[in-house]
């Protein structure tokens, strides 16, 4: 619990979405012993999924690199509407490949949904990859707690970003109205 508390303080240090998601990915790798982590987030307006952050991997860095979020969930192994943690080891017949990570294959994977317990809607996926020896049940249970804490932090950052957009729109509207009122008066 102390570890989760300390990590929670580090995640909460920055409200910006980008740095916060990057911290979530880095800390997930540290806590799990994974060589790499990827955080997928759902784009609210389009239901597309994108790689929001990665640790230990080179990923394409373009806004055009998106896949439908439900296709990403299925490719990783989640079954809608049941979002249980997915833990897999690769086999020669079934290698582990992830959406938007062209041609990369992995030996082991632990994937967790990012969702708020109140509404049970998944808005992201936290995927840890290639832990030497694979992921254990203990890893799974501990990282489920971490994912729930990370989900709250990421959701708060998304709300913060949305609030900033609304504030910018309000400022633009006030500037336009102010200009339109001043012109006839002068």
Query: Quick one: pLDDT at residue 137?
Result: 92
- Residues 12 and 51: their CA atoms lie apart, in Å, by 21
Distance in angstroms (rounded) separating the CA atoms of residues 44 and 47: 6
Q: Name the maximum alpha-carbon separation found in the chain.
A: 78
What stretch of H or E contains 162? helix 137-185
What are the backbone dihedrals phi and psi of residue 121, each rounded to the nearest 5 degrees, phi first? -100, 125
Asked if residues 44 and 65 have their Cβ atoms less than 8 Å apart, the reply is no
* 109 strand-pairing partners: 88, 129
What is residue 64's predicted lDDT score, i.e. its pLDDT? Answer: 55
Q: What is the Cα–Cα distance from 99 to 15, expressed in whole angstroms?
A: 27
Q: State pLDDT tens for residues 9-20.
A: 777 777 888 889
Q: How many residues does the chain have?
A: 186
pLDDT of residue 34: 92
Which letter does DSSP use for residue 12 in this model? T
Of 166, 168, 157, give the one whose Cα is nearest residue 53: 157
Q: How many CB atoms lie within 10 A of CB 161?
A: 14
The 10s digit of each residue's pLDDT in 87-135 is 888 888 888 888 888 778 899 999 999 988 767 788 899 999 999 888 9
């Amino acid at each position: 619990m102390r570890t989760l508390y300390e990590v929670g303080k580090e995640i909460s240090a920055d409200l910006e979405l980008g740095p916060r998601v990057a911290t979530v990915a880095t800390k997930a790798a540290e806590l799990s012993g994974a060589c790499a982590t990827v955080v997928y987030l759902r784009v609210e307006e389009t239901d597309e999924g994108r790689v929001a952050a990665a640790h230990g991997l080179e990923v394409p860095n373009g806004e055009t690199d998106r896949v439908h979020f439900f296709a990403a969930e299925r490719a990783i192994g989640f079954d809608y509407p049941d979002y249980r943690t997915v833990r897999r080891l690769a086999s020669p017949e079934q290698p582990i490949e992830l959406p938007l990570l062209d041609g990369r294959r992995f030996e082991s994977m632990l994937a967790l949904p990012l969702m708020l317990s109140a509404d049970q809607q998944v808005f992201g996926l936290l995927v840890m990859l290639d832990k030497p020896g694979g992921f254990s049940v203990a890893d799974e249970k501990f990282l489920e707690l971490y994912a729930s804490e990370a989900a709250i932090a990421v959701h708060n950052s998304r709300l913060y970003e949305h609030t900033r957009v609304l504030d910018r729109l309000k400022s633009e509207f006030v500037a336009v109205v102010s200009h339109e009122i001043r012109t006839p008066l002068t």
